[in-house]
Amino acid sequence: MDHVIVTKGLCRTFEVGESEVHALDHVDLVVEQGDFVAVMGPSGSGKSTLMNILGCLDTPDAGEYRLLDQAVSAMEDEALSRLRNRYIGFVFQSFHLLPRLTAIENVLLPLRFAQGDVHDSEANGRSLLQRLGLSERMHHRPNQLSGGQRQRVAIARALVASPPLLLADEPTGNLDSKTSVEIMTLFGELNADGQTVVMVTHEDDIAACAKRVIRMRDGKVESDARH
Ligand SMILES: Nc1ncnc2c1ncn2[C@@H]1O[C@H](COP(=O)(O)OP(=O)(O)OP(=O)(O)O)[C@@H](O)[C@H]1O
Ligand SMILES: [Mg+2]
């Protein structure tokens, strides 16, 4: 099987005043193509720090990260952002949509920074919004959409360039339980189509939608189990 993510001894330490916080403390992780992983653990256990490094938004201060067999941990900022645009779709708890842009404009935004066939990707953006039940909402702005609709726009934006890896940090954290189930059904369908997904959640019933649950504590992987 192809490894999408391989980390070895990943460390990230933050200096806060006189003290050091070991947000990640030697994390070893392998995620294969087609996996669906939920990352759980108490507040402050390092979940977002891990996701930010996996998503090439932050770099480790020790250890190794290989993304699709490329040595991310050795890369400079520019190479890192190229890799991020090409390989990563990131979904955040608070959607991070641009308020002045319509749904379809938000979805197509990443294509401004992408290479390749933009026309194909534009069609992909429209069909993603259709697939996510937003055909009638393409020209609405975020403040004209419900929370669940906003998150679906954010998911379409994350997927528009067909990234091999979808990362989501508490994607249902701002949604009610019914909408959360809809978003998880969507992740399950994407995963069934082969999309590799890694998501953070605090909720057991959300984590139950994944194939594998990793629990973190104090910056370490405490357990790693498949359903
Ligand atoms: N930029 C930063 N500067 C200093 N400390 C930080 C920074 N980012 C995170 N930390 C610290 O690193 C630790 C891990 O934080 P992280 O955000 O990864 O936790 P988390 O598991 O995502 O928590 P939550 O469930 O509350 O989102 C915490 O102790 C946090 O205070
Ligand atoms: Mg977090």
Residues near ligand 1 with C-beta < 6 Å? 14, 16, 21, 23, 41, 43-49
Nearest-angstrom CA–CA distance, 10 and 8: 5
Q: What is the pLDDT of residues 170-188, one digit of tens each?
A: 999 999 999 999 999 999 9
In 3D space, the residue among 204, 148, 217, 158 whose CA is nearest the CA of residue 178 turns out to be 148
Nearest-angstrom CA–CA distance, 198 and 135: 27
Number of domains in the chain: 1
C-alpha 118 to ligand 2 mean position (Å): 33
Q: Does the pLDDT value for residue 74 go beyond 90? A: no
Q: Which domain holds residue 219?
A: 3-226
Nearest CA residue ID for atom 4, ligand 1: 14
Nearest CA residue ID for atom 2, ligand 1: 14
C-alpha 12 to ligand 1 mean position (Å): 10
CATH number at residue 82: 3.40.50.300
Q: Does the pLDDT value for residue 1 go beyond 70? A: no
Which listed ligand is nearest to 14 at the C-alpha? 1
Shortest-distance atom of ligand 1 to CA 50: 18
Q: What is the pLDDT averaged over residues 111-132?
A: 82
Tokens linked to 203: 């909720």
